[in-house]
Amino acid sequence: MTDSDPYQDRIDELFAQAKDLPPEEQTRFLDAACQGDPPQVRLKLESLLAADRQRKLADPPPPEAAVRLNCPHCHNPIELV
């Protein structure tokens, strides 16, 4: 727990659990997990999750996400990202 935010450990814990869920599941998760927490916990989590989604959209896909195949015309290798 930090001096600046007494809920930071709780926020960190819930963020770690929610960050890889699809957005609609994140909402359901927060509905259940934040019951009894002060409103600022939910607001901070929503802000962190929105920023994480934006970061993921801005990051290029990892190399293993590329599709490698041969061109059907010239048979040279091509990569689709």
The answer on pLDDT for 1 being more than 60 is: no
Three state DSSP letters for the chain: CCCCCCCHHHHHHHHHHHCCCCHHHHHHHHHHHCCCCCHHHHHHHHHHHHHHHHHHHHCCCCHHHCEEEECCCCCCEEEEC
Q: Would you state the pLDDT for residue 66?
A: 67
Q: How confident is the model at residue 2 (pLDDT cuts 50, 70, 90)?
A: very low
Q: Global pTM?
A: 0.67
35-76 pLDDT per residue, tens:
999 999 999 999 999 999 998 888 776 666 667 788 888 888
